Amino acid sequence: MIVVTGGAGFIGSSIVWALNQRGKDNILIVDHLGESQKWKNLAPLRYLEYMEKGSFLECIERDSLPDNISCIIHMGACSATTETNCSYLVENNFKYSQAIATYCLEKHIRLIYASSAATYGNGDAGYYDGYENIENLRPLNMYGYSKQMFDLWAKRNDVFDDMIGLKFSNVYGPNENHKGSMRSVVNTAYHQIKEAGSVKLFKSYRDEYGHGEQMRDFVYIKDVIDIVLHFLDHPDIYGLFNAGSGEARTWNDLANAVFRALGLTPSIEYIDMPQSLRPNYQYYTEMDMDSLYKSGFKGKFKSLERNVEDYVQNYLVKNRLLGDEKL
């Protein structure tokens, strides 16, 4: 059995879809559905059982989980970079991960968990994913720090040789509709274009970047899936790895790719960035992917334009989720 926490969420449900594509459905999905719309991501998927995250933690504490679990893919977390309840983030993102990791170590279960590129902060310490120097990283928001806390815990306890951590960059793709304001700019831009014919991007407040020329490492969900499956297929590999594309592109590039996928002439409006975001805004990220390729990863990422085209034309326009491809 494979456990996927956050299995109704964006990345988690996409991983379940990929496992289904391999003919695997002996999957326990763990999440907290609440009143969100992410339950819709579950509808096209095949899995053995669903469990609320609180019940899952209780099972860990009581040692009452099934004894045939081979791997826990821990994607569950609050991923809102604007979340200001630090105590909630510590409990939900750090302590919960700590409990799962401790259980996996005791039971000798493979653990693949989600860290984040947000741990790199403004990039002053670089974007190398080795855990040797993670103490030097300075996240710009509490979400990033909650992920950093767990990475630091893993290093202090010398357990990176027993698990895989993945530092996800700016992921976009199908199954993210429920994320509200945390949806990718591709998703947001598509809906803005359909409603108003133009896209709104934040102005730049640094002289070295023009408006919309801020750069991020955007990575498509299908490429992320390939990375996760690579580590699932190679249980002899451990450590902390970046999960990005390895290429920084501008927000203008991203918006233009959406217009291109729709066959429309670009129309971009640059708007003021909220004062609250300006001190913590990342102007540039580009993941160092050397460690991933040295681990034997053979995947080849498509271009930003090709991936945006797939997302827009095959999912957003058709209002489909992963698993709906045959509809």
Q: Residue 151 and residue 133: Cα distance in Å, rounded?
A: 11
Q: Residue 149 and residue 190: Cα distance in Å, rounded?
A: 35
The candidate with the shortest Cα–Cα distance to 228, out of 10, 12, 23, is 12
DSSP string for 227-285: HHHHHHH-TT--EEEEES-S--EEHHHHHHHHHHHHT----EEEEPPPTTTGGG---B-
Residue whose structure tokens are 């988690």:
12
CB atoms within 10 A of CB 92: 18
C-alpha atoms less than 13 angstroms from C-alpha of 35 in its C-beta half-sphere: 0
> Which tokens sit at 8?
């109704």
Cβ atoms 3, 57 nearer than 8 A? no
Please give the order of strands across the beta sheet that includes 2-5: 49-52, 27-31, 2-5, 71-74, 110-116, 164-168, 239-243
Cβ atoms 289, 244 nearer than 8 A? yes
Please identify every residue annotated as catalytic: 143, 179
